Amino acid sequence: MTGIEPEREEAAFPQLTKAQFARLSSFGTPETVEAGEVLYGPGDPTYDLIVIEDATVEIVQPATRDAPEESLVQFGPGAFLGELNLLTGQAVYLIARVVEDGRVHRIAPERFRRLMAEDPELSDILLEAFQARREILTHNGASRGLEIIGSAMDPASLALRTYAARRRLPHLWFDADSVAGHSLLKAASLTSDDLPAALLPDQALKRATPGELAETLGLTYRGDSGGSVDLAVVGAGPAGLAAAVYAASEGLNTVLLDGVGPGGQAAASSRIENYLGFPSGISGGELAERAETQALKFGARLSTPCEVVAINCDEHLNAVLDDGTEIPTRALMIATGARYRSLPLERWDELVGAGIFYAATELEARTCAGDPVTVIGGGNGAGQAALFLASCGCDVTVAIRRPEIESGMSQYLVDRLLASPKITVLGGTEVTRIEGEDVLESISLAGPAGETEQACRGLFCFIGAEPATGWLSGVALDEDGFVRTDVQLATDELGEIWSALGRGPLPFETSVPGVFAVGDVRHGSMKRVAAAVGEGASAVRSVHTAIGVHA
């Protein structure tokens, strides 16, 4: 395996000491294996962590439409198999085949979870190895196991690629208009009507959606966990991820559900500079990845895309999913944050993803690198986006409705924006028209000097967000739709159920007992990553009190 720095390669294939090997294998069941035997293979919903005593096992990328089977790596005595999908629950996509007879130790999923909880030293080694192996697999042949083919400026293709990126799925992207894209379309007997398509070794998903892909890969909610969970967290932005990390690490059986993928609004940020402990900043995507791994390590189960459409509290508390599945839970945490605002312009919805974007990460920037783009909004998100796009070679116009840029943005960003030769800031300016056939081509801006039309390949919209509470009923909201909690609740918002309970709402508890709200969705919240994380973590204490389990 190559294509990655030597330190990551080392982390991917650690040398265990004798004592570590003995501890690791003690969690498993010994088994004799023979050359040619397949220990696990594509499509298996789950697999065991396998520790090798004295056999040799190779990891093989199955044949795809455009390439034959390929051996990726061999593991010998003292090594262990497995990668990140042992934690994420993604179905097996590689083959583990025995090359030389010998003995191995199989650690079943529930024993694996115990190991991760009980042995911090081994847990750190395994976690590091799984992450490094996923990085390596993303850079080598394993990416061929999932090929996404579509059109670069097609919103449905962007949604699929965004999902694959957010869930860190090893995959290859093919633009259908490229030579490689054409030949793959032919090899898979697909037409342009089938796009976007997700090609797996044994099947092709035509007009694929993130939901279908997730279902096929085993990343949606699996009702096989049986019975009630302790906590269902709705929304995997910073607040929900923090709640899942703290709840799972304190022993609560926790599920984390998100309608899109982990990261929330933070995943749309190319660089967060005000999060404690990261003096040179961290991309929202990386912060979310780290938090996701941490939550999974402690045993939380993440399902995406998995939209919650209602809370049913007729008899017991249930999170209701969009396919009608109900997840019984002892407590529920609303961490659904906010959804981006749009402009009331003709053709806006058609061009979202085809030149209009609500995020400025590598993925969006690649579609318009070097071209003229416009960022609308006067907050920190807009400032970060403008700097990032300028660093990608774009000529950036920042259009702000207010006359002065200083009133809504941190001074450090204002200074950098004004100093950049690639950025033009226009105060008192609004977008009045958008033009383009299939993709955005130009926009009209109206400002103090009148109305002008200018070329624009990317319109990045950072004009704030509205609370994602349209799905909630029966929970007290403020006049703008944000969820009220604890001391914010008026006496007339608390029904008889509270008198029967004999207590008032706990910190972060809503008007419905056992239902909590944290982060941007909560009335009066600070609308920052650190604040959302703090709320998610703190609310877990109230969950313990409400369900009578003490950490």
CB atoms within 10 A of CB 328: 14
Q: Please report how close the Cβ of residue 460 comes to ligand FAD at its closest, in angstroms.
A: 9
What is the rounded distance in angstroms from the CA atom of residue 361 to the CA atom of residue 35?
46
DSSP string, 266-309: GGG-S-B-SSTT-TT-B-HHHHHHHHHHHHHHTT-EEE-S--EE
Q: Please report how close the Cβ of residue 373 comes to ligand FAD at its closest, in angstroms.
A: 15
Among 356, 309, 540, 330, CA closest to 462: 356
Question: Which residue among 126, 213, 396, 532 contacts ligand FAD (CB under 6 A)?
Answer: 532
Contact code string over 511-530 relative to ligand FAD, x by CB under 6 A:
--------xxx-----xxxx
Our finding on whether 364 is near ligand FAD (CB under 6 A) is no
Our finding on whether 259 is near ligand FAD (CB under 6 A) is yes
Q: 343 or 530: whose CB is closer to ligand FAD?
A: 530
Our finding on whether 389 is near ligand FAD (CB under 6 A) is no
Question: Which residue among 78, 150, 170, 264 contacts ligand FAD (CB under 6 A)?
Answer: 264
Among 260, 268, 338, CA closest to 302: 260
Question: Which residue among 33, 236, 375, 399 contacts ligand FAD (CB under 6 A)?
Answer: 236
DSSP string, 147-181: EEEE-TT-HHHHHHHHHHHHTT---EEEETTSHHH
Our finding on whether 141 is near ligand FAD (CB under 6 A) is no
Contact code string over 275-314 relative to ligand FAD, x by CB under 6 A:
--------------------------------xx------
Our finding on whether 269 is near ligand FAD (CB under 6 A) is yes
Q: 118 or 466: whose CB is closer to ligand FAD?
A: 466
Q: Please report how close the Cβ of residue 182 comes to ligand FAD at its closest, in angstroms.
A: 35
How many residues make up the chain in this entry?
551
Q: Please report how close the Cβ of residue 28 comes to ligand FAD at its closest, in angstroms.
A: 36
What is the end-to-end Cα distance of the chain in Å, rounded? 43
461: helix, coil or strand?
A: strand
308 DSSP β-pair partners:
321
243: helix, coil or strand?
A: helix
Preceding peptide of 196 cis, ω within 30°: yes
Query: Own/partner pairs for 443-446, CB < 8 Å, 24+ apart?
Result: 443/374, 445/374, 445/397, 445/399
Q: Please report how close the Cβ of residue 8 comes to ligand FAD at its closest, in angstroms.
A: 27
Question: Which residue among 136, 272, 386, 476 contacts ligand FAD (CB under 6 A)?
Answer: 272
What is the rounded distance in angstroms from the CA atom of residue 240 to the CA atom of residue 264?
9
Query: Taking contact as CB under 6 A, which single stretch among the options 192-200, 208-216, 251-259, 537-545 is the one that binds ligand FAD?
Result: 251-259
Among 101, 56, 107, CA closest to 77: 56
Q: 115 or 463: whose CB is closer to ligand FAD?
A: 463
Q: Please report how close the Cβ of residue 462 comes to ligand FAD at its closest, in angstroms.
A: 6
- Phi first, then psi: give them for residue 110, nearest 5 degrees: -70, -35
Identify residues 93-132 at the interface with ligand FAD (CB under 6 A).
Answer: none
Q: 95 or 159: whose CB is closer to ligand FAD?
A: 159
Q: Please report how close the Cβ of residue 267 comes to ligand FAD at its closest, in angstroms.
A: 7
Identify residues 430-489 at the interface with ligand FAD (CB under 6 A).
Answer: 462, 468, 471
What is the rounded distance in angstroms from the CA atom of residue 271 to the CA atom of residue 482?
27
Q: Please report how close the Cβ of residue 358 comes to ligand FAD at its closest, in angstroms.
A: 7
Q: 348 or 471: whose CB is closer to ligand FAD?
A: 471
Identify residues 159-198 at the interface with ligand FAD (CB under 6 A).
Answer: none
Would you tell me the crossing angle of helices 155-166 and 284-297 to the nearest 10 degrees? 50
Between CA 528 and CA 333, with CA 361 as vertex, the angle to 5 degrees is 40
What is the rounded distance in angstroms from the CA atom of residue 231 to the CA atom of residue 228?
9
Radius of gyration of the chain (CA): 25
Question: Which residue among 87, 219, 266, 394 contacts ligand FAD (CB under 6 A)?
Answer: 266
Query: Taking contact as CB under 6 A, which single stretch among the options 31-39, 82-90, 253-261, 449-457 is the one that binds ligand FAD?
Result: 253-261
Q: Please report how close the Cβ of residue 274 comes to ligand FAD at its closest, in angstroms.
A: 5
Query: Taking contact as CB under 6 A, which single stretch among the options 52-60, 71-79, 159-167, 259-267 is the one that binds ligand FAD?
Result: 259-267
Q: Give the CA distances from residue 528 to residues 50, 272, 439, 440, 524, in Å, rounded to whole numbers and listed in that order.
A: 42, 10, 33, 31, 12
Query: Taking contact as CB under 6 A, which single stretch among the options 15-23, 127-135, 269-277, 387-395 is the one that binds ligand FAD?
Result: 269-277
Query: Taking contact as CB under 6 A, which single stretch among the options 154-162, 332-340, 345-353, 504-512 is the one that binds ligand FAD?
Result: 332-340
Q: Reduce the secondary structure of 390-442 to three states and give it as a string.
A: HHCCCEEEEECCCCCHHHCCCHHHHHHHHHCCCEEEECCCEEEEEECCCCCCE
Query: Taking contact as CB under 6 A, which single stretch among the options 52-60, 150-158, 255-263, 400-408 is the one that binds ligand FAD?
Result: 255-263
Our finding on whether 381 is near ligand FAD (CB under 6 A) is yes
Half-sphere exposure for 417 (CA within 13 Å, toward CB): 27
Our finding on whether 337 is near ligand FAD (CB under 6 A) is yes
Question: Which residue among 157, 265, 283, 361 contacts ligand FAD (CB under 6 A)?
Answer: 265
Q: What contacts 493, CB < 8 A, 6 or more positions away?
A: 476, 484, 511
Q: 269 or 329: whose CB is closer to ligand FAD?
A: 269
Residues that bind ligand FAD (CB under 6 A): 234-240, 257-260, 264-266, 268-269, 272, 274, 307-308, 335-338, 380-381, 384, 462, 468, 471, 519-521, 527-530, 532
